[in-house]
Amino acid sequence: MSDSYAIEIDKPDEPANDGALFHLWYMVAMLMLAMVVSFIDRQIITLLVEPIRRDLDITDTGISLLMGAAFVIFYVVMGVPIARLSDSRNRKKIIGVGMLLWSIATAACGLAKNFGQLFAARVGVGVGEATLTPAAYSMIADAFPAKKLGRAIAVFATGIYIGAGLAGVLGGWAVKLISNAAPVELPLIGTLYPWQMTFVAVSIPGLILVAIMSLTIREPARRNVRTAMASKKAVPFRDVIKFMWSNKRTYGAIFVAYAFSGIAFYGFLSWIAEFIRRVHGWDIGSAGILFGAIYMVFGTAGALSGGWISDRLTQKGYKDAALRCATAFFAISMPLMALTPLMPTMTLFIPMLAIATFAKSMQQALSPVAIQLITPNEMRAQATSIFFVVSVFPAIGLGATSVALMTDYVFHDDLAIGYSIAVVSAVMMTLATIALFTGIKPYRESLEKSMEWRDAD
């Protein structure tokens, strides 16, 4: 059987084969599960703040570097080279190798004995972002037409919320289970504390999933190619930059807006469970379970709703629906994210957290949709990688740290963490909304240019 496939699922005279359509959605589901695993491995550290601080003797700022800066180092160094491979080689295999490496790195976090070793292991966990997301977006864009791309990428994007949610729910349960456990003595390895055993435990699902994916999903055939791809060589990086520069107002608006919004997003995500523990007095296990359940349910619902709304507007003739919707969702999210950590009681905090999570997740699939639609196939992974370097690097690298710096050096009070989250959310989401609004008109112009090489959907 061929390892590549592609079908047109919207042509009225050529109805989709049910088996082929099943494989397309199965591929999306497997990629979504890979994102779930990636986010669990990335986010589990947010529930282990206190024991890591205690055993490694570090501050909130030090913890924030483990959450953010360490995670993005690998991506900044290797993201574009890996993306170049994704634009010309088998994307499924690239994702598989990445999953194997980041799962091993997660286990290595559990073997770390000091800050330096844990920092180095967290750098390895960053393999996930470098290998999974650009290749996955490219695969999904090859499998679905423009008017269904929002929903398909939204399903993939729910992995962020399911993964972060499961990190909270399962991580919180695990923390409760092992919080009173004694350290374990292992031959050659030495003493492992409960927080270290948590890292080892969450690394196992990734190792299982990579085996399943390698055996059951297929590489989609490439479509929407602008230049000939007779060889296996990737498009030169300078050509990608030249193309993106010709659409600089569109890419620039998206990149800047998502850098600002990402800082707010990751600052909120990294510290909200610890906020519940410090300010409202919950144990971290219960805080993780609460936050995880809300994030998983309302984040998933928001991402799917946003993708559905964008697709509906696209079908009604709004070609700029992806950016138009994202701008509106940013504007709605700003006051909700800022007000949530200011709620004085858990009775008010819990429903506000649910509403804010739903609102801010609605835009999750829309920047990938916009980038895939205006970027030729042979440049998509590299363009996505550049997007991550320019936008996601400051988001992940500065999101957790911006909140920590506010807490440590502006308020000088661990209990002021809610004010730190609120300030970062309000400022960054306002800037993000303004930046994305300026890109709507250029985005329409970029879509017009793309009709020269895009297939009719």
Confidence (pLDDT) at 232:
58
Strand partners, 162: none
**pLDDT tens, position by position, 26-58:** 999 999 999 999 988 888 887 788 888 888 888
Confidence (pLDDT) at 230:
43
Residue 1 has pLDDT above 60, yes or no: no
In this structure, of 51-55, 70-74, 119-123, 137-141, the range with the lowest mean pLDDT score is 70-74
Confidence (pLDDT) at 227:
58
**pLDDT tens, position by position, 312-332:** 999 999 989 999 999 999 999
* Per-residue 3-state assignment (H helix, E strand, C coil) for the chain: CCCEECCCCCCCCCCCCHHHHHHHHHHHHHHHHHHHHHHHHHHHHHHCHHHHHHHHCCCHHHHHHHHCHHHHHHHHHHHHHHHHHHCCCCHHHHHHHHHHHHHHHHHHHCCCCCHHHHHHHHHHHCHHHHHHHHHHHHHHHHHCCHHHHHHHHHHHHHHHHHHHHHHHHHHHHHHHHHCCCCCEEECCCEEECHHHHHHHHHHHHHHHHHHHHHHHCCEECCCCCCCCCCCCCCCCHHHHHHHHHHCHHHHHHHHHHHHHHHHHHHHHHHHHHHHHHHHHCCCHHHHHHHHHHHHHHHHHHHHHHHHHHHHHHHHCCCCCHHHHHHHHHHHHHHHHHHHHHHCCCHHHHHHHHHHHHHHHHCCCCHHHHHHHHHCCHHHHHHHHHHHHHHHHHHHHHHHHHHHHHHHHHHHCCHHHHHHHHHHHHHHHHHHHHHHHHCCHHHHHHHHHHHCCCCCCC
Confidence (pLDDT) at 296:
92
Structure tokens at 121: 């292991």
Give the β-pairing of 4-5 and 190-192.
unpaired
Which of residues 234 and 166 earns the better pLDDT score? 166
Q: What is the mean pLDDT of residues 260-278?
A: 91
Residues 93, 86: contact at Cβ < 8 Å? Answer: no
Q: Spell out the domains of the chain, with CATH numbers in brackets.
A: 10-221+233-450 (1.20.1250.20)
**pLDDT tens, position by position, 137-155:** 889 988 888 788 888 998 9
Q: How far apart are CA 76 and CA 54, in angstroms?
A: 30
Residue environment code for 184-205, b if the CB has 16+ CB neighbours within 10 A, otherwise e: eeeeeeeebbbbbbbbbbbbeb
- pTM summary value: 0.77
Residue 17 has pLDDT above 60, yes or no: no
- pLDDT bin (cut points 50, 70, 90) of residue 166 is confident
Confidence (pLDDT) at 345:
96
CA-nearest of 14, 38, 36, 18 to 26 is 18
List Cβ neighbours of 433 (8 Å cut-off, separation of 6 or more).
257, 327, 330, 331, 334
* Residue the block writes with tokens 């809300």: 294
- pLDDT bin (cut points 50, 70, 90) of residue 187 is confident
- pLDDT bin (cut points 50, 70, 90) of residue 178 is low
Residue 241 has pLDDT above 80, yes or no: yes
